[in-house]
């Protein structure tokens, strides 16, 4: 009887040990499943986590984030996530609908990439209410700030890899800084004083701020909401009055609107990437940033051509400068 009890106790101990061992072993080995809402956040996370986490885009690629309506698959995906990285300041409000619908409002850790980012208003007319610009991801410096925030917060969820995430974040940040520095160098050779630009949508406010360039007018301050005929007329007048010589439109959300404006005003039109198109990939952010900066240099070259003699396309090879 006594023997049996001892044996049972030993068996129990052994069982517990094995069970706990297996359990924690599994927990350690299992990589985080990190959800993301927008394309640039995929790139940020991919560069921070390397192969030590799985990235799950909340919605399928190929959707326009400005008028997205949640799908059934999104619910399934959000259920499998350990954390979700969000813009959280107005560019992915649908994510909160999905979280709510999937019943994960109280148990899904959210990482707000913009928590420490100082927000700027969308360029507005005098007297108009200042509206927050949520496009912090179309930028370099402000992107780096978000990358650090993401790395820090992921490190809290996966303490074993915190140092690894931090190191990757720094390497990635330096890569982005080098990319920016290269185009800063290109722009320095040009006379930027004559540039007077307008943009479709407020998507490029942070980028232009980082390059010291002022946006004279924003033509479609609310994405997907076409201006009325009267607003369009006012805009055209504004562009003429402000002597705008370059209009930055959008590469993927091509709109008749920008074409109409170009015809009415004769401004040069260049297309920027809003970074919401194509497949999710680690390299997307750098690739699209490089394309945007190249576009910026080309636009600047066109306006400064009349004033300064600059050697044509001596640089800007399309290879990645940041080794």
Partner 1 sequence: MTGADTTTAALTTALTTTVAPKSARQETLAVGLVIVVVAIIAGVAISQRQIVNPLPRLYDWQLSSFYDLNKTDQAIHSSLISAIPEMWILHADLLAQKAGSKTEDSLPNKVEDSPLSKVEDSQSSKAEDSWPDVDQLAEYYFVAPFAKDLFWSQYGEVTWARVTTFSFEGSTVYHGNGGSADQQSAYLVVLSHAHKGASFSSSGTIWMNADAYAPAPNEVVRDALIRKGWKQVVAYSGDMERRRIRN
From candidates 223, 235, 247, 280, binder to Zn ion by CB under 5 A: 223
Q: Does 39 bind Zn ion (CB under 5 A)?
A: no
Q: Does 118 bind partner 1 (CB under 8 A)?
A: yes
104 φ, ψ (degrees, to nearest 5): -110, 20
From candidates 55, 78, 113, 299, binder to partner 1 by CB under 8 A: 113
Question: Three-state SS across 40-57?
Answer: HHHHHHHHHHCCCEEEEE
Side-chain half-sphere exposure of 247, counting CA atoms within 13 A: 29
Q: Does 262 bind partner 1 (CB under 8 A)?
A: no
d(CA 197, CA 189): 19
Q: Does 188 bind partner 1 (CB under 8 A)?
A: yes
Q: Does 180 bind Zn ion (CB under 5 A)?
A: no
Residue partners of 60: CB distance under 8 A and separation at least 6? 71, 73
Angle between helices 39-49 and 162-188 (to 10 degrees): 120
Whole-number Cα distances in Å, 195 to 38, 55, 279: 31, 40, 33
Residue number, 125 or 263, with CB nearest to partner 1: 125
Burial of 214 (0-12, 13-18, 19+ CB in 10 A): exposed
Q: Does 108 bind partner 1 (CB under 8 A)?
A: no
Residue number, 75 or 119, with CB nearest to Zn ion: 119
Residue number, 181 or 241, with CB nearest to partner 1: 181
Q: Does 102 bind partner 1 (CB under 8 A)?
A: no
Please identify, among the stretches 13-21, 27-35, 208-216, 269-277, the one whose residues bind partner 1 according to the rule CB under 8 A.
208-216
From candidates 13, 80, 115, 307, binder to partner 1 by CB under 8 A: 115
Q: Does 66 bind partner 1 (CB under 8 A)?
A: yes
Q: Does 120 bind partner 1 (CB under 8 A)?
A: yes
Shortest Cβ 140–partner 1 spacing (Å): 9
d(CA 126, CA 36): 36
**Helix H or strand E encompassing 276:** none
Q: Does 100 bind partner 1 (CB under 8 A)?
A: no
Shortest Cβ 9–partner 1 spacing (Å): 44
Burial of 139 (0-12, 13-18, 19+ CB in 10 A): buried
Q: Does 163 bind partner 1 (CB under 8 A)?
A: yes
CB 179 within 8 A of CB 140: yes
Largest distance between two CA atoms of the chain:
103
Q: Does 141 bind partner 1 (CB under 8 A)?
A: yes
The strand pairing partners of 85, in sequence order, are 36, 111
Q: Does 45 bind partner 1 (CB under 8 A)?
A: no
Shortest Cβ 227–partner 1 spacing (Å): 11
Residue number, 133 or 149, with CB nearest to Zn ion: 133
Q: Does 50 bind partner 1 (CB under 8 A)?
A: no
Please enumerate, as own/partner, the contacts of 126-134 that have beta carbons within 8 Å and a separation of 24 or more.
Answer: 131/202, 131/221, 132/89, 132/90, 133/202, 133/205, 133/206, 134/87, 134/89, 134/90, 134/91
Residues between 67 and 96 that touch partner 1 (CB under 8 A): 67, 88-91, 93, 96
Residue number, 21 or 185, with CB nearest to partner 1: 185
CB 53 within 8 A of CB 160: no
Contact residues: partner 1, CB under 8 A: 65-67, 88-91, 93, 96, 112-121, 129-132, 134, 136, 141-142, 144-145, 148, 151-152, 155, 163-164, 166-167, 170-171, 173-174, 177-178, 180-181, 184-185, 187-188, 192, 206, 209-214, 222-225
Contact residues: Zn ion, CB under 5 A: 203, 223
């Amino acid at each position: 009887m006594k023997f049996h009890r001892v044996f049972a106790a030993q068996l129990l101990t052994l069982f517990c040990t094995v069970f706990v061992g297996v359990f924690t072993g599994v927990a350690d080995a299992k990589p985080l499943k990190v959800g993301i809402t927008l394309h640039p956040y995929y790139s940020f996370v991919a560069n921070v986590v390397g192969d030590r986490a799985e990235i799950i885009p909340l919605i399928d690629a190929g959707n326009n984030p400005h008028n997205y309506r949640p799908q059934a698959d999104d619910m399934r995906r959000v259920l499998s996530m350990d954390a979700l990285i969000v813009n959280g300041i107005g560019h992915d409000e649908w994510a909160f609908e999905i979280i709510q619908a999937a019943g994960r409002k109280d148990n899904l850790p959210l990482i707000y990439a913009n928590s420490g980012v100082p927000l700027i208003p969308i360029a507005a007319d005098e007297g108009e209410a200042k509206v927050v610009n949520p496009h912090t991801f179309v930028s370099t410096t402000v992107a780096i700030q978000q990358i650090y925030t993401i790395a820090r917060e992921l490190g809290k969820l996966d303490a074993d890899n915190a140092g690894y995430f931090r190191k990757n974040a720094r390497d990635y940040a330096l890569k982005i800084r080098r990319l920016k520095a290269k185009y800063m160098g290109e722009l320095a050779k040009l006379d930027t004083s004559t540039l007077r630009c307008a943009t479709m949508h407020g998507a490029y406010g942070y980028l232009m701020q980082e390059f010291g360039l002022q946006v004279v007018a924003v033509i479609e301050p609310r994405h997907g909401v076409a201006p009325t005929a009267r607003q369009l007329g006012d805009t055209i007048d504004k562009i003429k009055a402000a002597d705008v010589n370059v209009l930055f439109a959008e590469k993927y959300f091509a709109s008749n609107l920008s074409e109409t404006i170009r015809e009415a005003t004769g401004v040069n039109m260049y297309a920027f990437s809003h970074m919401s198109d194509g497949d999710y990939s680690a390299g997307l952010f750098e690739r699209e940033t490089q394309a945007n900066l190249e576009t910026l240099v080309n636009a600047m070259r066109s306006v400064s051509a009349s004033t300064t003699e600059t050697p044509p396309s001596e640089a800007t090879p399309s290879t990645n400068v940041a080794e």
